[in-house]
Amino acid sequence: MEGSAGRRRARRLLVGTVVVLALAGLNGPWLYRVGSEKYHHYEINRPEYKAENGHWDVVDVPEAFRQNTIHAALLHTGKILLVAGSGNNLDNFDAKNFRSVVWDPVENTFHEVRTPADLFCTGHIHLADGKLLFAGGTKRYEKLKGDVTKAGGLMIVHNEDPDKAVTLPGGTRFTGKENHKTFVSKDPVSVKPAKKIFDKRTGKFLRTEASVNRVYVEAQKRGRQYETGAQENYRVQGLTGSDTHNVYGIANKLGLDKKDFQGIHDAYEFDPATEKFTKVAPMNEARWYPTLTRLSDGRVLALSGLDDIGQVVPGKSEVYDPKTRTWTYSGKVRQFPTYPAVFQLPDGTFFYSGSNAGYGPSDVGRAPGIWQFATNKFTKLPGLDDANLMETSGTVMLPPAQDEKFMVVGGGGIGESTKSSKKTRIIDLTADSPHFTDGPQLAEGTRYPELSILPDDTVLITGGSRDYRGPSAENILQARIYDAKTGEMHRVADPEVGRNYHSGSILLPDGRVITFGGDSLFADKAKTEPGVFEQRLEIYTPPYLYRDSRPSLTSGPATVKHGATATFRTKYASVIKTARLIHPSSTTHVTDVEQRSIALDFKKTKDGDGIQVTVPKNRDLVPSGWYMLFVTDDQGTPSVARWVRVP
């Protein structure tokens, strides 16, 4: 009996074991995944791991304040302005639902601020007084071929009357003399009087030369039958007297092709104190995807962008004067693709790295070089063996700014190309013959990399996509730190949130980095599911903040003039090794031409309880404005920054 019972127990045990093993086989991937996730969570939270690689944390943003953030800037109040505008959402645009949110990373509080226009794809920059200037934005969303129902395009309006200007209101109708098709203008258009041409030698009047201006027109009715295929002269309906023959339109093809985005003339200042936008004088040119960069006298230069017709502004740069809040043409003509990475250099010239966000001819304004703004001379820089892969690359002025070294990271082919680059390229503009050389490579081709200067003279490189607005499944969940002193790069902790198009990163005053945005076209590699805009924020805490202690600055002036020396109190004076002024970021579309880290000369005070730092005299090296003053100790650990204004 006992032997029979034992055999039955053995059979039950064998059957049970087989069942368990079978279930384990069926659930193996799940068990492995759960186990791997738990181990990964354990590994990345070990103190030793954090001290070596840093750590990422997702910010808990209340649902009411989640938005499609396109632009962001650090304010001298320590808060972050996150701007969505319509957030690349046509429904929001049609409903005029334009959003901006101010986030306090210390208190982790959010509140919405009224946004007066669609500052989606605007340009923005800090002014010397700490306000932010916004210029341009969206007038009309693009329409893809197939979505366009009315033939349309560019109408060139001519005025041959030398004695008066003419203004045609929006809704003006143009009818072809030969094709008899009628097109309607979308906006008002003004044309100056015709020019009188005289013989330079004798002063004798020779002729008049018509003045021209452009306006976008659409057919009165829907349908392919209203397309045109050749140049045609158009009568302007509603004119009387001599205007009937002095004023006319000329257009080439007016069709159902894809229509690009159109820009606006509007400009605004944002005041961090009141957290409100104030409208200022409009730009002379409408701009969508423009870059704003500073001049040494505090004025702002606006470059590139798509105009109110949807064409790249033809090289007409203009300057904003914060004193008068008005714009004037600079008189310098140089065409760049949209969102060109143009940096102010210590000698008053500009460095254009070749990085850009895309719109524009493939053979105009894409070569990197030095722009002598005063003379409009442009000198190309050699050394790029992948010059056709600079679109959607990122550029950073390596720390310290006095070294005049730049790094260009990643990038891809022009337009909707699937090509991308895993290269970094370094250029030293102080060299006798400046040229690009290859730096350490990324693991794979990367568009839309995010670059943030850190207080210890390193650069955080994170985010990006393998493809043009690649599927979120192709986001590159990796981060690296590049050491500007040694030229070495190493991988650190991986972010949890993927970032690609419409993303950015910003250094915070406490030494951490915030990342935002991410706008994939698709969610899956097969490109069958639409992408979802990434509304989460994520903070990276670098390894230097996992050390036992960090220095601090306990007091000091809030204002230090160019060339002046100021005393800051600290009990860590004996171990402080560097002092840096870091300009706050203002970033969008892989473009942040403001961030720079300036090395300061310093010495200990006689009593040993402080340091004396000296701000360089050069206003091109140190543009007037607010800065974060960081000091680092002998371990490379930075203090929390003190805000200092250089007036």
CATH code of residue 174: 2.40.30
Q: What is the pLDDT of residues 587-600, one digit of tens each?
A: 999 999 999 999 99
Does residue 88 sit in the same domain as residue 236?
no
CATH code of residue 99: 2.130.10.80
Give 39's pLDDT tier (boundaries 50, 70, 90).
Answer: confident
Give the number of other Cβ atoms within 10 Å of residue 565's Cβ: 14
Question: Is residue 576 within 8 Å of residue 631, measured between CB atoms?
Answer: yes
- How many helices and strands in the chain, by DSSP H and E? 5, 48
Question: Is residue 158 within 8 Å of residue 215, measured between CB atoms?
Answer: no
Local structure of residue 387 (DSSP, 8 states): G
Domain boundary among 486, 514, 546: 546
Whole-angstrom distance, CA of residue 369 vs CA of residue 380:
4
Does residue 36 sit in the same domain as residue 102?
no
Examine residue 605 and state whether it is found in any structural domain, yes or no.
yes
Does residue 74 sit in the same domain as residue 193?
no
Does the pLDDT at position 7 exceed 70?
no
Give CA torsion, residues 390, 393, 394, 399, to 10 deg.
Answer: -50
Structure-token match 């396109």, residue found: 70
Residue 260 CA to its chain's centroid (Å): 19
Does residue 273 sit in the same domain as residue 213?
no
Question: Is residue 581 within 8 Å of residue 556, measured between CB atoms?
Answer: no
Instruction: Note the pLDDT of residue 1.
Output: 40
Length of the chain: 647
Does residue 618 sit in the same domain as residue 486?
no
Mean pLDDT of all residues belonging to the chain:
93
For the stretch 145-159, what's the b/e string if a residue is b when 16 or more beta carbons lie within 10 angstroms of its beta carbon? eeebebbbbbbbbbb
DSSP string, 94-148: HTT--EEEEEETTTTEEEEEE--S--TT-EEEE-TTS-EEEE--EEE--B-TTT-
Q: Is 323 left (phi over 0), alpha (psi -120 to 50) or beta?
A: alpha
Examine residue 9 and state whether it is found in any structural domain, yes or no.
yes
Domain boundary among 251, 286, 310: 251
Does residue 118 sit in the same domain as residue 21?
no
Q: What is the pLDDT of residues 551-585, one digit of tens each?
A: 999 999 999 999 999 999 999 999 999 999 999 99
Does residue 364 sit in the same domain as residue 505?
yes
Give 145's pLDDT tier (boundaries 50, 70, 90).
Answer: confident
Domain count, the chain: 4
Local structure of residue 489 (DSSP, 8 states): E
Examine residue 596 and state whether it is found in any structural domain, yes or no.
yes
171: domain range? 152-251
Does the pLDDT at position 26 exceed 60?
no
Contacts (Cβ under 8 Å, ≥6 apart) of 115:
83, 84, 85, 98, 99, 100, 277
Does residue 352 sit in the same domain as residue 383?
yes
Token representation of residue 345: 């250099």
Q: Is the pTM of this model over 0.85?
A: yes
Q: What is the pLDDT of residues 449-493, one digit of tens each?
A: 999 999 999 999 999 999 898 889 899 999 999 999 999 999 999
Domain boundary among 219, 251, 283: 251
For residues 271-286, give the mean pLDDT: 98
Examine residue 592 and state whether it is found in any structural domain, yes or no.
yes
Examine residue 87 and state whether it is found in any structural domain, yes or no.
yes
CATH code of residue 571: 2.60.40.10
Instruction: Note the pLDDT of residue 17.
Output: 43
Does the pLDDT at position 189 exceed 80?
yes
Give 515's pLDDT tier (boundaries 50, 70, 90).
Answer: very high
Token representation of residue 102: 């101010």
- Name the 3-class secondary structure at 224: helix
Q: What is the pLDDT of residues 281-330, one digit of tens each?
A: 999 999 999 999 999 899 999 999 999 999 999 999 999 999 999 999 99
Task: Find the range with the poorest average confidence among 20-24, 168-172, 410-414.
Answer: 20-24
Examine residue 552 and state whether it is found in any structural domain, yes or no.
no
Does residue 493 sit in the same domain as residue 468?
yes
Examine residue 559 and state whether it is found in any structural domain, yes or no.
no
Whole-angstrom distance, CA of residue 479 vs CA of residue 462:
4
Examine residue 555 and state whether it is found in any structural domain, yes or no.
no
First-to-last alpha carbon distance for the chain, in angstroms, is 100
For residues 29-54, give the mean pLDDT: 81
Question: Is residue 558 within 8 Å of residue 612, measured between CB atoms?
Answer: no
Whole-angstrom distance, CA of residue 449 vs CA of residue 436:
19
Does residue 130 sit in the same domain as residue 165?
no
Token representation of residue 454: 């850190």
Give 12's pLDDT tier (boundaries 50, 70, 90).
Answer: very low
The angle formed by the CA atoms of residues 466, 524 and 496, to the nearest 5 degrees, is: 65
Instruction: Note the pLDDT of residue 305.
Output: 98
Task: Find the range with the poorest average confidence among 30-44, 422-436, 501-515, 614-628.
Answer: 30-44
Paired residues of 546 in beta bridges? none
Does residue 12 sit in the same domain as residue 82?
no
Does residue 441 sit in the same domain as residue 482?
yes
